[in-house]
């Protein structure tokens, strides 16, 4: 149970130097989403997808959490047990900022999944080298991330938390991808007060009681300081 649920997306990590997806300089400008973020793309060219995520893993490890990540971690420290972060990001920056209650709806780039024995584990290194699974020995590790057409992680836990929260904030996401983008409707239905903190407004902001526009490092710290 958490009074405050925060849904985060690529925009919260942009000022840590992690590329977003849908901006003019975003990842989808250089890579076709069908090629690198679908099971079909992986089946068609395993090496390309492994290299794409190996590079993203290196970028995530090299990045540092920014003031927005830290502000959310400090909020949780002030209200233990009352804050849940649901992040679409695979970069691990919330945990590195000190947040303890983080659900990764789209997985984590630093983890690997063996599609032979179903074991999930810390990523043992670059997956383009096709290292053997430490448990079963098969060379069938993939990044433990969620691609289009695959079921997202922990959805029951997320729905339970969102259905009971008093505050639901959306930070740094375009709201283009479901089911994450639909959570605000669940929160509203449950009577939560909703807020969007983003660089620019969504096409439809009617689901939000408050809309605060600006870079995450500028708008998130003063917003959370009020709680
Ligand atoms: C700042 C800022 C700053 C910038 N400060 N703000 C037809 C076929 C198959 C599926 C579907 C279909 N039609 C619909 C679907 C559902 C599909 C979907 O949503 N598709 C839409 C694109 C149409 N969803 C799925 O497939 C999901 N699964 C699912 O529905 O399962 C059903 C199922 C059930 C049972 C069995 C089987 C299936 C899965 C979705 C997986 C998404 N995966 C990715 C890749 C994850 C790994 C990786 O990181 O590579 O997730 S795609 C990508 O988009 C990534 C992100 O998490 C996600 C969202 O992106 P995000 O974070 O919003 O980034 P941007 O770039 O879009 O936006 C950034 C925002 O920040 C912008 O607004 C900026 O303004 C802002 N910003 N700088 C603050 N400094």
**How many A from CA of 137 to the centre of ligand 1?**
32
**How many A from CA of 71 to the centre of ligand 1?**
24
**How many A from CA of 7 to the centre of ligand 1?**
12
**CB of residue 19 inside a 6 A radius of ligand 1:** no
Q: State the closest ligand 1 atom to the C-alpha of 68, by its place in the atom list counted from 1.
A: 5
pLDDT of residue 2: 78
**CB of residue 170 inside a 6 A radius of ligand 1:** no
**How many A from CA of 122 to the centre of ligand 1?**
23
pLDDT, averaged across the chain: 97
Q: What is the pLDDT of residues 18-48, one digit of tens each?
A: 999 999 999 999 999 999 999 999 999 999 9
State how far the Cα of 177 lies from the Cα of 1, in Å rounded to an integer: 25
Q: Report yes or no on whether pTM surpasses 0.95.
A: yes
**CB of residue 22 inside a 6 A radius of ligand 1:** yes
Catalytic residue chosen out of the listed positions 70, 94, 106, 202 = 106
State how far the Cα of 91 lies from the Cα of 72, in Å rounded to an integer: 16
State how far the Cα of 101 lies from the Cα of 152, in Å rounded to an integer: 18
- Go through the chain and tell me how many residues it has: 227
Evaluate the omega torsion of the peptide bond into residue 75 and state whether it is cis, within 30 degrees of 0. Answer: no
Q: Are 85 and 8 in contact (CB under 8 A)?
A: yes
Q: What is the pLDDT of residues 33-89, one digit of tens each?
A: 999 999 999 999 999 999 999 999 999 999 999 999 999 999 999 999 999 999 999
**CB of residue 214 inside a 6 A radius of ligand 1:** no
Closest C-alpha to ligand 1, atom 55: 88
Please indicate whether residue 79 is annotated as part of the active site: no
């Amino acid at each position: 149970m958490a009074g405050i649920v925060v849904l985060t997306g690529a925009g919260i990590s942009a000022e840590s130097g992690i590329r977003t997806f849908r901006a003019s300089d975003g990842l989808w400008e250089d890579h076709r989403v069908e090629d690198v973020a679908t099971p079909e793309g992986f089946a068609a060219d395993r090496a390309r997808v492994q290299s794409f995520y190996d590079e993203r893993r290196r970028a995530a490890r090299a990045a540092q959490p920014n003031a927005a990540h830290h502000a959310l971690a400090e909020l949780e420290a002030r209200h233990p047990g009352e804050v849940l972060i649901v992040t679409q990001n695979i970069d691990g920056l919330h945990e590195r900022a000190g947040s303890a209650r983080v659900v990764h709806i789209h997985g984590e780039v630093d983890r690997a999944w063996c599609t032979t024995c179903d074991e999930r584990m810390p990523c043992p290194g670059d997956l383009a080298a096709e290292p053997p699974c430490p448990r079963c020995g098969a060379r069938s590790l993939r990044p433990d991330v969620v691609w289009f057409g695959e079921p997202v992680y922990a959805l029951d836990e997320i729905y339970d938390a969102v259905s009971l929260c008093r505050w639901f904030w959306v930070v740094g996401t375009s709201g283009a991808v479901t089911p994450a983008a639909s959570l605000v409707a669940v929160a509203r239905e449950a009577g939560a007060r909703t807020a969007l903190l983003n660089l620019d407004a969504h096409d439809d902001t009617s689901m939000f009681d408050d809309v605060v526009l600006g870079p995450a490092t500028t708008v998130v710290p003063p917003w959370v300081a009020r709680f």
